[in-house]
Amino acid sequence: MGIGFALVFEGVLWGLFPSAIIRAVKAMSDTDEKILRYGGVASVAIGVALIWYIQHLRAGSL
């Protein structure tokens, strides 16, 4: 379900704002690899924390 949500979200962005996405991708290609790596790791950490929080919230343990 999570992968499906990610695909829908990304598809909406590409469908509504293709030129903005292209500009963002070009800007990322000029960004230092270290910064992109830190951003990716931070995104993973936030995503894992969010999933953990939602799972525990739904289970009633928070």
Number of folded domains that form the chain? 2
32-52 pLDDT, tens per residue?
A: 999 999 999 999 999 999 999
Same domain as 7, residue 26: yes
Q: How many CB atoms lie within 10 A of CB 13?
A: 13
* pLDDT the model gives residue 22: 95
Same domain as 57, residue 45: yes
Same domain as 36, residue 19: no
Same domain as 21, residue 47: no
Per-residue confidence at 27, pLDDT binned at 50, 70, 90? very high
Same domain as 5, residue 19: yes
Euclidean distance between CA atoms 34 and 31, whole angstroms: 8
Euclidean distance between CA atoms 6 and 10, whole angstroms: 6
Per-residue confidence at 62, pLDDT binned at 50, 70, 90? low
Euclidean distance between CA atoms 53 and 47, whole angstroms: 10
Same domain as 39, residue 15: no
Residue-number span of the structural domain to which 23 is assigned: 1-30
Same domain as 62, residue 39: yes
Chain-wide mean pLDDT for the chain? Answer: 92
- pLDDT over 80 at 24, yes or no: yes
